[in-house]
Chains A and B, each alone.
Chain A
């Protein structure tokens, strides 16, 4: 599948797990970008075409919610679908992220099928 995916998590092993899952689901692993926090992700989003973002919440420097708030306020980045993968279970925080426009939410531990299905659902209707 010819999509560019950005995986955002401060844990390198989680990024590898998500990349591996996407590869098994048929995504081109050479088109997967990685960032270790929200700030790095925004820098990549500003210089690279990204079809979908998979992001953690709890990260140093800039967390996932702060990243979502910047994306929601940006005309250019608002269109990029985001799926959050986190240990977070607070209803209030999840509702806040939904209000910011996330297209999916997965709790850790995640399954490869869960990631694949959430990504495919979020990409439906996009033009990539």
Chain B
């Protein structure tokens, strides 16, 4: 049995669609950006026929932009700034739902963990099997990656 895979171009299209539908942000393909210490990194584990995790790395300015789009406020509003990490976490949650659909379809029940915001330095970025890189609103780098593996017996 082979590990399920996900198509990078479909991942890219869905990530762009989520950005547009949740926060009115527009994205274009980009070169991989080097992980910066200021990035907001969110990891969300899933458990199903195979386990894995989704890792989202967002440049520092993207969190407020996402939160502003989601809440209909300005990026400088205190409430928006307070919600910046939560916005990246929720974005990760929605993208993960799509990834599970692509990996397993609708017949399988999976369990999701809780999105974890973590320092860029400890993220497991090197393990990612597939990823997509975007530039959001011509300003903010974003990368979304997926790692899938069999559970240890």
Which A positions have Cβ atoms within 8 angstroms of B?
Answer: 10-14, 16-17, 20, 58, 60, 86-93, 107-109, 111
Tell me the smallest distance from the CB of A65 to a CB of chain B, in Å. Answer: 10
With contacts A11-B93, A89-B101 known, what are 11 further pairs, Cβ within 8 A? A12-B83, A13-B67, A13-B70, A14-B90, A58-B112, A86-B97, A87-B100, A90-B107, A90-B109, A108-B97, A111-B21
**Chain B binding surface, main DSSP class:** helix
Q: How many contacting A-B pairs (Cβ < 8 A)?
A: 58
Chain A residues contacting B114 (CB-CB under 8 Å) are: 10, 58, 60
With A11-B90, A13-B86, A13-B90: A20-B110 Cβ-Cβ less than 8 Å: no
With A13-B83, A109-B18, A109-B22: A89-B90 Cβ-Cβ less than 8 Å: no
A20 and B80 CA atoms in complex are apart in Å by 14
**Cβ of B106 < 8 Å from any Cβ of A?**
yes
A38 and B9 CA atoms in complex are apart in Å by 37
A54 and B114 CA atoms in complex are apart in Å by 19
Say whether A93 contacts B109, CB under 8 Å.
Answer: yes
**Cβ of B65 < 8 Å from any Cβ of A?**
no
Tell me the smallest distance from the CB of B88 to a CB of chain A, in Å. Answer: 10
Tell me the smallest distance from the CB of A31 to a CB of chain B, in Å. Answer: 20
User: For residue B21, which residue of chain A has the nearest CB?
Assistant: A109
The contact sample of 7 A-B pairs, CB cut-off 8 A, is: A12-B86, A13-B83, A13-B90, A87-B97, A89-B106, A108-B94, A109-B22
